[in-house]
Amino acid sequence: MGKIRTPYFRIVVTDSRKARNGLSIEEIGRYVPGQDPSIIEVDSTRALYWLGVGAQPSEAVEALLKVTGDWQKFKGLPGTEGTLKVAAPKPAKSVAYEAAVKAAAAEPAEGATTLKKKAQEKLAAKSEPAKAEAVSEVPAQAETTEVSSVTEETPAVEAVTDTASAVETSDTPEVEAAAE
């Protein structure tokens, strides 16, 4: 059974007079050689029963029964525990999920994703007025503590007059109403 490069075998009890792929009497195990270690599952009580009533195993099944220790039990030989290797249990998916959540929480939130162009421009526009306010506050504090020269006040006055003249020159009534 199975498929290409993924074999899967059933261990069955069948009548020797029937076709090899014909109807089986009972399935007593399975063998999956594609994994490391190979999966060998045999129902020991049923295998010993069928061996006891005269069933003759094929060479391949006899080798599998020796690995599981069932052949030694039937013959009364030492080594009934067999030489079957068992794979280590897989960790639960919830453990892997919790580890991934902890790793994600430990990552820095800043710069974790790249913003789109428009979002970067908006962010830059928001941060620029804050810088301009901080710069304008610093000269105001300097004026109160020490006598300021005329050259320091001139740029601030010019900026105010430029905005006032821009409002006066517009012809739309909405902008004039907003300026008043």
Q: What is the pLDDT along the chain (180 residues), one digit of tens a residue?
A: 778 888 988 889 998 888 877 888 888 998 888 888 888 888 889 999 989 898 889 999 999 998 888 888 888 888 777 777 777 788 889 888 988 888 888 766 665 567 678 877 887 888 776 555 555 555 555 455 455 444 445 455 454 545 444 445 555 555 544 554
Closest C-alpha among 142, 180, 139, 178 to residue 157: 139
Burial per residue of 73-112, b for 16 or more beta-carbon CB atoms within 10 angstroms, e otherwise: bbeeeeeeebeeeeeeeeeeeeeeeeeeeeeeeeeeeeee
- CB distance 42 to 84 below 8 Å: no
Q: Are 178 and 172 in contact (CB under 8 A)?
A: no
Q: Rounded to whole angstroms, how far apart are CA atoms 70 and 61?
A: 11
Please name the CATH architecture into which domain 2-75 falls: 2-Layer Sandwich (3.30)
Largest CA distance in the chain: 118
Location of structure tokens 């740029």: 155
pLDDT at 148: 47
| pLDDT value at residue 166 | 47
Domain definitions of the chain by residue range: 2-75, 113-179
Phi–psi pair at 93, nearest 5 degrees: -65, -30
Query: What pLDDT sits at residue 129?
Result: 67
pLDDT for 59: 92
Nearest CA to 66 among 84, 45, 91, 49?
Answer: 84
Query: Would you say 34 and 6 are in contact if contact means Cβ atoms under 8 Å apart?
Result: yes
Model pTM above 0.85:
no
Give backbone dihedrals phi and psi of 161, rounded to 5 degrees, phi first.
Answer: -70, -35
User: CA 20 to CA 14: how far, in whole Å?
Assistant: 8
Q: CA-to-CA distance for 47 and 67, rounded, in angstroms?
A: 13
